[in-house]
């Protein structure tokens, strides 16, 4: 398997796995995302699109490298978000998930999720912190593998 093929599969695995984990935690365990959590998901959607385009369009290495850079972007947003959760710096003011729906009962029943509170941690690392670690390392590996030529 070539470095390009490995990088393409890694991009799909990292972004798909992290998005899958985010949706399992949201719908399976009730950990609703805040605004900054959503910001971390958007680059992963872009990374999946870039990785899929790399199967069809040339130059393939550029598309895969863009996927890797999108993954790193999500990681950097996750790092900022983790810093807000740990109290290292202030986040965006008024950062919370907005209620959806038009019915007053829907709006009043919607959970208010704050960006500066980690809803779950493992070994002191929040979900945003794990996204930072996995995305930065995984995205850098995708870019490195895409650039590698024998």
Span 21-75, pLDDT tens digits: 999 999 999 999 999 999 999 999 999 999 999 999 989 999 999 999 999 999 9
SS3 content of the chain, % helix, strand, coil (to 5): 65, 5, 30
Q: What is the mean pLDDT of residues 10-24?
A: 96
Lowest mean per-residue pLDDT among 25-29, 49-53, 86-90, 127-131 = 86-90
What is the predicted pLDDT for the residue at 101?
58
Tokens of 145: 């593998």
Output the pTM of the full model.
0.85
Q: Are 3 and 99 in contact (CB under 8 A)?
A: no
Domain of residue 62: give its range. 3-147
Work out the pLDDT band at 112, boundaries 50, 70, 90. Answer: confident
What pLDDT does 51 receive?
A: 96
Question: Does 96 score more than 60 pLDDT?
Answer: no
H helices of the chain, where?
Answer: 3-29, 35-53, 60-85, 104-109, 127-147
Q: Are 112 and 97 in contact (CB under 8 A)?
A: yes
Q: What is the domain-level CATH number for residue 105?
A: 1.20.1550
51 token code pair: 């990785």
Count up the domains in the chain and report the number: 1
């Amino acid at each position: 398997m070539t470095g390009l093929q490995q990088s393409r599969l890694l991009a799909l695995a990292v972004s798909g796995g992290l998005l899958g984990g985010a949706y399992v935690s949201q719908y399976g365990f009730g950990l609703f995302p805040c605004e900054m959590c959503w910001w971390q998901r958007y680059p992963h959607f872009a990374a999946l699109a870039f990785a899929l385009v790399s199967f069809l369009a040339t130059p393939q290495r550029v598309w895969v490298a863009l996927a890797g850079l999108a993954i790193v972007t999500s990681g950097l947003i996750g790092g900022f978000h983790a810093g807000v959760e740990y109290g290292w710096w202030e986040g965006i003011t008024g950062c919370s998930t907005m209620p959806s729906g038009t019915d007053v009962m829907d709006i009043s029943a919607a959970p208010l999720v704050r960006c500066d509170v980690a809803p779950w941690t493992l070994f002191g690392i929040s979900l945003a912190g794990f996204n930072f670690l996995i995305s930065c390392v995984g995205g850098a590996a995708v870019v490195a593998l895409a650039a590698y030529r024998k």
